[in-house]
Amino acid sequence: MGKAGGQPMAIKLIATDLDGTFLNAKREIPAENIKAAQEAAAKGVIFTIATGRMYGSAKFYAEQVGVDVPIITYNGALVMTVEGRELSNSYLEAQEVIDTLRYAQGKGWLILNYEDDQIYVPFYDDRVSGYEENARQKAHVVGWDGLYAHTKRVPKLLLITSGVEETDARAAEIRAALDNRVSATRSVDAYAEIVSPKASKAIAIEALARSYGISMDEVMVCGDSENDRSMLEAAGTAVVMGNAKPHIKALATYVTGSCDEAGVAQAIRKFVL
């Protein structure tokens, strides 16, 4: 199981997913993960975050670690410094946003629209409340008509579902309905993330590594879910969490402990420290 290869190269850049990976089940960063990340950085290794979360939510965690390099948010659709400077984006086209919203509205699906790192929702219910708690961000309730007023700088749309089966089905349905003009993947069980086909964690990590003169063979990534697939396939060292599904573990160079066992710290100690 995992990647074949010869002698591994020294790791110069680490990129980790947040939910189910760097964060534990309580959505907190285990102290061991922070310590290992900081020790790696002290050795000159670049440490960053690559997440489906919005920038404001990702920044909350990056600041706890002391990350001072760009962070990859919205599944690679927006790369920004912790100080708030935008470095790259792959926003959805306005028509793609409109068509996706229209389809979701016709189906009666709950969809979240992100413009300029703000969340807009058509109505408020327990699912939105739970999302707010998870993201540590507040949503603006604007009605269906209000959603269509926010189409200009949208890195991501998000469907909230009842679970894995429905998430995967809706992701496939929305891709087909829009003739693959959007990319849709599952991040956590009940979230289908919709971004531009030009955006992925792998694309963003490759660009970041290139900016530092680092090859992908010198990159280690840590992930657990479908939206981590691209970076797990692209990196020289692909670390998959013990809590991941078997088909994601099959992409691994190394299967580490679970998110509740500080599996990222285990991997950093094995491959970097």
From CA 245, how far away is CA 252, in angstroms rounded? Answer: 11
Q: What's the confidence (pLDDT) of residue 236?
A: 98
Would you say the pTM of this structure is higher than 0.85?
yes
Query: What pLDDT tens digit does each residue of the chain (273 aa) get?
Result: 445 455 568 999 999 999 999 999 999 999 999 999 999 999 999 999 999 999 999 999 999 999 889 999 999 999 999 999 999 999 999 999 999 999 999 999 999 999 999 999 999 999 999 999 999 999 999 999 999 999 999 999 999 999 999 999 999 999 999 999 999 999 999 999 999 999 999 999 999 999 999 999 999 999 999 999 999 999 999 999 999 999 999 999 999 999 999 999 999 999 999
Name the DSSP letter for residue 160.
Answer: E
From CA 109, how far away is CA 75, in angstroms rounded? Answer: 21
From CA 158, how far away is CA 147, in angstroms rounded? Answer: 13
Q: What's the confidence (pLDDT) of residue 8?
A: 64
* 174 Cβ neighbours under 8 A, 6+ residues apart: 100, 103, 104, 159, 182, 184, 192, 194
